[in-house]
Amino acid sequence: MKFSLVDFINKIGFIIVLAVVAFAAYTLFFNKPFYEAESYEGDSMRTEEESGTIDSEKTIDRLEIRNISGRISAEGWNNEEVRLDYRKFGPGIPPDVEVDYQGSTMIIKAVYPKKLSAFGSVDFDIKIPASVRFVKIDSVSGSISIEGAASGLEQELSTTSGSIKTDSSANLDISSVSGSLVFSSDGERITASTTSGRIEGVLEQAPDSGRIELKSVSGRVVLEVPDNINADVDLHSVSGSVSSELPVSVTESRKKSLRGRIGSGGTIIDIGTVSGSIRIKN
């Protein structure tokens, strides 16, 4: 049986997904013994063990959140403090929730015993005041969402297994191994990457310059842009269609790629997939 280049690349993409998942599993099960447990599966397999609320002790301009298993949801509000509501779940022993401060940075983290055969999970619900200008969230197994935050909030969000959804961001860096990415942003620097999942983004305004880079191995990519955007675009897919609703002055066009200029050019838009379509719409 003969295989085409597309078939070969698709198999390579699938192997990449398996390799990344295997690496994550190795890290969890061998390098970090206290991670030896079932993955976070949502509320259907969990029973609530404990809940609580913590308010920040001072004005915060940077927020960092670290979790292993559980959902992380954040939203803006008009009060001056950061508020954390947490809910711990079994089966297994849930982690401790610790809050540290480094200057005007607040660090929220789930801390697990180092020798444990099974662990629980914890969900974080966080209220973010306008004083916070940067948020960094890291998770292993669980979704991440931010909504209704004050404009101009820079965000760096990553999870191994789970979706990410955020709005009203400034500069943005989001990534997932297995999960969809949905965002809206008025930043000049946007990076979004996922191995298995779609990417759907909205540019809330046309940046004067900057770089938007969106990458997916297996999943479609859709980017909504303003009518007045000036951009240099490079769209490339191995086995999916490539299109733009805005007129493009083409400098290079192939079956599955498009390179050119929208308007007078400026902002770099680089979008690539292995298996999935690419579309720029307005």
What are the average pLDDT values for consecutive 10-residue runs of the chain, which has 282 residues? 46 50 41 36 69 95 97 97 96 92 97 78 97 97 96 96 95 97 96 96 91 96 96 94 94 86 96 95 92
By three-state DSSP, how is residue 22 classified?
A: helix
By three-state DSSP, how is residue 48 classified?
A: strand
Q: How far apart are CA 40 and CA 259, in angstroms?
A: 41
Question: What are 166-211's pLDDT values in tens digits?
Answer: 998 999 999 999 999 999 999 999 999 999 999 999 999 988 889 9
Domain ranges of the chain: 5-35, 37-164
Closest CA to 276 of 203, 181, 187: 181
Contacts with 188 (C-beta within 8 Å, 6 or more apart), sequence order: 171, 207, 208, 209, 210, 211, 267
pTM summary value: 0.83
Runs of H (alpha helix) within the chain: 5-26
Contact 13, 276 (CB under 8 A): no
Q: How far apart are CA 86 and CA 79, in angstroms?
A: 19
